[in-house]
């Protein structure tokens, strides 16, 4: 074993991100590390690279127990990491970046000539042809990543960790990356490869470790595992998370309207979204299934006008919506964003102000806000959504995750939307609040709201949605409804090898 | 240990919240006790008149800082408006003032567009006008100090309304207007929301760009007002000198008044009090025959203290 993790547990203030996880990396292998959101992949990588220190358990490097206090320690030991975003200096030349901190010297001064020659030779070794004098920032993202890779390996790394290296690459650049991985492989360098693209994993990886909910569920040769088995291991959930009252009762009691209220046609945005079309009728809950990075959030963001599109239109009630988020909101489309902290709450404002934020213009006359109208609407929602607060003036930052989520739901509901896009509405909230939010989604749909539901939890989707669209690599690959709305069908659609 | 840390945090929070009022009260008490002739109408008048321009500029600055920005061009905008006044005074005082304020509006819109639409960092965007604005003012005025004689215009600098100097009255009115703007209007609430979490505000459909342009425009118009009032008080337009280092005084007043530089909060009364505090510190030291340089050092100490207190709070 070149690198080994034994029984590592990592806790963050009450949350257990890794639960006695073991992981073994053999010399010269390409080892895939997979898992959905919150599975513990990033935490494991951060333990390996010295960003986090394990709460318990040991990390063994070439058979010896090590404690990396800082990322620099791991790097010195020969463990290099290539992140999704290239972290080099864009304004410096390619050569300077390659040799940053260990420039070839001559009589105490940097020997530029040699640096340039060495850099060109190094890159050529990986089949990359680029002018090493050019600032790194002028190269494409793919080429930049290759430089980062070359730098890592030149620094005598024998372990390279690649965190979703292809997420921002063009297909051609992916090919170059793979050929570089191939060469590293030949030189006996071990690689930890994190990606959600099954095609890539099966092409270049020897073994796979699957994490789920902070635990290791499987390690073994990738060739022994079918795509279906792999996906079901990634997505499987414990039964305890299931909602008690089973499938939601749409259809018989609450017929969805006939005409779709929302229609999205041919949404495309670079590699992230490729010709996605969908429609939702009033009273219908449409789910988006797919692995992380398959374009679920991007679809929602595109519909609400928060993602620049190359092409595609969004219609509400047959009328094209205006540009940007304000345009979508005027048409009655709102989105509950995935990242509550970064894109949801405004921490230093009160619960009241957070709720009325989007509806302010409607609650004011000639630009002067009416406190009475605000209080009425805020109290209604606090009661209806059972938001636990000491009062409407409490700071929203002081609330629990579940209550913050309810505040955000209230924010969107008080704009009286026709279409509600929910991106991971129950992520990171406790079980009780989760059930309440799920019940609320049900209720809203029954009242005629059109809902788009995104979730990494398959059960939540199967239970909550009337119809499921399966996304893969930014495109819709299947639509499931009725009898085909089952766990096996979803897994099969995600695992299908279309190439 | 933790209880102690909690106490310290609470103390820091309290200081940021009310420190500026306590400091002003303490300085007033000190002066009443130890400064000769402090308790006179004339003295209060002088102090307020001197604090008024900083106060007016700081109100606009507080809005900008509330959006997590900063406006370095306020002093240059004051110079610009001062330079324009004598050029158009021939058409009467009203058109002259209107043109000076319009120039402010234009300058502010320029800053706002750079920040909101082109995504340039506020400190860099407004730096352009800090340098260029005063240069333009000097070109307009031909580098000269121009005497102003129009009696109606000079009334702005020397006149009273019910015994209150015009500039002080203006500062009071603007403070009230900005306070209402922040607390009671959609615009004001959007300013605070954008400063608190810009990504969330964008997704909530707030007119982020329009609001930012508006904020920089208001800030510059208030700076133009201060430029006009300063010109009237001096009875001369002096674009080389008017509003020099005003950006620093205004930022100081805002920060000392408890508005965090990280945005998301605007404290209007605190800002006004902050402007008064800095004026009182300077006046107190001068009245006790200490040189102006020592007043500057005292002000520096207060700034460091205010920023330190704010830091304690944010590292929660």
In angstroms, the CA B110 to CA B132 distance is: 12
Tokens read off for A186: 């030949």
In angstroms, the CA B232 to CA B234 distance is: 6
CB-nearest partner of A343 from B190, B196, B199:
B199
Query: Which residue shows structure tokens 């001369």?
Result: B236
CA separation, residue A59 to residues A188, A198, A209, B142 (Å):
21, 28, 17, 73
Residues A102-117: tens digit of each pLDDT: 777 778 787 888 888 8
In angstroms, the CA B122 to CA B28 distance is: 36
Q: Are A142 and A167 in contact (CB under 8 A)?
A: no
CB-nearest partner of B204 from A357, A368, A369:
A357
* B200:A337 CB<8 A: yes
A22: enclosing H helix or E strand: strand A15-25
Regarding an ipTM greater than 0.90, the answer is: no
Tell me how close the Cα of A395 comes to any Cα of chain B, in angstroms: 12
What CATH class is the domain A262-495?
A: alpha beta
In angstroms, the CA B42 to CA A493 distance is: 84
Q: How many beta-carbon pairs under 8 angstroms link A with B? A: 74
Query: Which residues make Cβ contacts (< 8 Å) with residue A33, sequence separation at least 6?
Result: A23, A41, A44, A45, A192, A193, A194, A208, A209, A211
pLDDT at B306: 80
Chain B's closest residue to A325, CA to CA, is: B205
* B189:A357 CB<8 A: yes
Query: Which residue shows structure tokens 């796979």?
Result: A208
Rg of chain A (C-alpha set): 25
CATH homologous superfamily for the domain A3-245: P-loop containing nucleotide triphosphate hydrolases (3.40.50.300)
Per-residue pLDDT for chain B (316 aa), expressed as one digit of tens each? 456 666 777 777 787 788 889 889 998 998 888 888 888 888 888 899 999 999 999 999 999 999 999 999 999 999 999 999 999 988 989 999 999 999 999 999 999 999 999 989 999 999 999 999 999 999 998 888 889 888 899 999 888 898 899 999 999 999 999 999 999 899 999 999 999 999 999 988 899 999 999 999 999 999 999 999 999 999 999 988 898 889 999 999 999 998 888 888 899 999 999 999 989 988 888 888 888 788 788 888 888 888 787 765 554 3
From chain A, the residues in CB contact with B197 under 8 A are 342-347
Chain B residues 66-85 within an 8 A CB cutoff of chain A:
none
Strand partners, B185: A368
User: Any CB–CB contact under 8 A between A257 and chain B?
Assistant: no
Every domain of chain A and the residues it spans: 3-245, 262-495
Backbone φ/ψ region at B147: left (φ over 0), alpha (ψ -120 to 50), beta:
beta
From chain A, the residues in CB contact with B189 under 8 A are 353, 357, 360, 369
Query: Which residues make Cβ contacts (< 8 Å) with residue A105, sequence separation at least 6?
Result: A111
Residues A122-139: tens digit of each pLDDT: 888 777 777 888 888 787
Residue A238 DSSP SS3 = coil
pLDDT at A251: 35
pLDDT at A11: 85
Query: Which residues make Cβ contacts (< 8 Å) with residue A338, sequence separation at least 6?
Result: A297, A423, A424, A427, A454
Tell me how close the Cα of A492 comes to any Cα of chain B, in angstroms: 34
Q: Are A127 and A176 in contact (CB under 8 A)?
A: yes
Could you check whether A3-245 and A262-495 share the same CATH topology? yes
Q: Are B130 and B73 in contact (CB under 8 A)?
A: yes
CB-nearest partner of A342 from B184, B185, B199:
B199
Q: Are A478 and A470 in contact (CB under 8 A)?
A: yes
- Low pLDDT (below 70) residues in chain A: 13-14, 37-38, 84-86, 155, 168, 236-257, 498-499
């Amino acid at each position: 074993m070149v690198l080994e993790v034994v029984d590592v547990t990592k806790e963050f203030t009450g949350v257990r991100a890794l639960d006695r996880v073991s992981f073994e990396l053999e010399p010269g292998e390409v080892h895939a590390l997979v898992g959905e959101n919150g599975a513990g992949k990033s935490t494991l990588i951060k333990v390996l690279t010295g960003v986090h220190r394990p709460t318990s358990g040991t990390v063994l490097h070439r058979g010896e127990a090590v404690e990396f206090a800082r990322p620099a320690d791991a790097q010195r030991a020969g463990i290099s990491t290539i992140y999704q975003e290239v972290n080099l200096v864009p304004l410096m030349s390619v050569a300077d970046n390659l040799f940053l901190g260990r420039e070839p010297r001559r009589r105490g001064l940097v020997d530029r000539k040699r640096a340039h020659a060495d850099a060109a030779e190094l890159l050529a070794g990986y089949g990359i042809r680029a002018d090493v004098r050019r600032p790194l920032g002028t190269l494409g993202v793919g080429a930049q990543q290759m430089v980062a890779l070359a730098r890592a390996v030149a620094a005598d790394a024998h372990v390279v960790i690649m965190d979703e290296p292809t997420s921002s690459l063009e297909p051609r650049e992916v090919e170059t990356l793979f050929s570089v991985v191939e060469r590293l492989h030949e030189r006996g360098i071990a690689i930890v490869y994190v990606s959600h693209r099954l095609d890539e994993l099966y092409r270049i990886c020897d073994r796979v470790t699957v994490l789920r909910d902070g635990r290791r569920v499987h390690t073994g040769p990738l060739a022994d595992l079918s795509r279906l088995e792999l996906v079901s291991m990634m997505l499987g959930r414990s039964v305890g998370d299931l909602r008690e009252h089973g499938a939601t009762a749409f259809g018989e009691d609450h017929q969805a309207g006939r005409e779709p209220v929302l229609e999205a046609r041919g949404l495309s945005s670079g590699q992230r979204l490729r010709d996605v079309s969908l429609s939702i009728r009033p009273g219908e809950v449409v789910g988006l299934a797919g692995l992380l990075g398959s374009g679920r959030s991007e679809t929602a963001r595109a519909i609400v006008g928060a993602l620049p599109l190359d092409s595609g239109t969004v219609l509400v009630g047959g009328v094209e919506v205006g540009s940007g988020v304000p345009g979508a909101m005027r048409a009655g489309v709102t989105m509950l964003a995935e990242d509550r902290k970064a894109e949801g709450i405004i921490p230093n404002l009160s619960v009241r102000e957070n709720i009325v934020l989007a509806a302010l213009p409607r609650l004011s006359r000639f630009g002067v806000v009416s406190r009475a109208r605000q209080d009425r609407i805020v109290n209604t929602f606090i009661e209806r959504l059972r938001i636990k607060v000491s009062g409407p003036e409490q700071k929203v930052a002081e609330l629990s995750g579940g209550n913050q989520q309810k505040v955000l739901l209230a924010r969107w509901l008080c704009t009286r939307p026709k279409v509600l896009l929910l991106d991971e509405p129950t992520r990171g909230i406790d079980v009780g609040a989760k059930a309440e939010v799920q019940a609320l989604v049900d209720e809203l749909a029954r009242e005629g709201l059109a809902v788009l539901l995104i979730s990494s939890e398959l059960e939540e989707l199967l239970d909550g949605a009337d119809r499921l669209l399966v996304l893969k690599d930014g495109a819709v690959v299947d639509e499931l409804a009725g009898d085909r709305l089952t766990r096996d069908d979803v897994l099969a659609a995600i695992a299908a090898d279309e190439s | 240990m933790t209880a102690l840390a909690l106490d310290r945090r609470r103390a820091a929070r309290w200081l940021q919240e009310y420190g500026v009022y306590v400091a002003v009260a303490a300085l007033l008490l000190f002066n009443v006790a130890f400064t000769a002739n402090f308790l006179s109408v004339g003295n209060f008048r002088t102090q307020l008149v001197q604090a008024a321009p900083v106060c007016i500029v700081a109100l606009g600055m507080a809005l900008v800082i509330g959006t997590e920005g900063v406006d370095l061009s306020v002093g240059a905008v004051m110079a610009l408006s001062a330079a324009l006044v004598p050029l158009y005074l021939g058409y009467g005082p009203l058109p002259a003032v209107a043109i000076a304020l319009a120039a402010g509006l234009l300058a502010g819109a320029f800053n706002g567009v750079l920040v909101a639409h082109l995504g340039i960092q506020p400190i860099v965007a407004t730096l352009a006008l800090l340098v260029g604005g005063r240069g333009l003012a000097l070109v307009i005025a031909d580098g000269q100090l121009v005497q102003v004689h129009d009696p109606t215009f000079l009334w702005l600098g020397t006149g009273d309304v019910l015994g209150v100097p015009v500039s002080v009255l203006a500062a009071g009115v603007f403070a009230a207007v900005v306070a209402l703007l922040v607390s009671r209007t959609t615009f004001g609430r959007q300013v605070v929301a954008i400063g608190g979490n810009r990504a969330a505000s964008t997704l909530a459909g707030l007119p982020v760009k329009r609001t930012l342009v508006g904020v920089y425009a208001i800030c510059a118009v208030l700076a133009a007002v201060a430029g006009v009032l300063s010109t009237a008080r001096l009875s001369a337009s002096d674009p080389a000198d008017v509003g020099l280092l005003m950006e620093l005084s205004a930022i100081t007043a805002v920060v000392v008044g408890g508005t965090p530089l990280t945005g998301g909060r605007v404290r209007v009364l605190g800002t006004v009090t902050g402007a008064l505090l800095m004026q009182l510190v300077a006046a107190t030291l001068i009245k006790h025959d200490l040189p102006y340089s020592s007043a500057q050092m005292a002000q520096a100490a207060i700034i460091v203290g205010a920023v330190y207190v704010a830091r304690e709070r944010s590292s929660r």
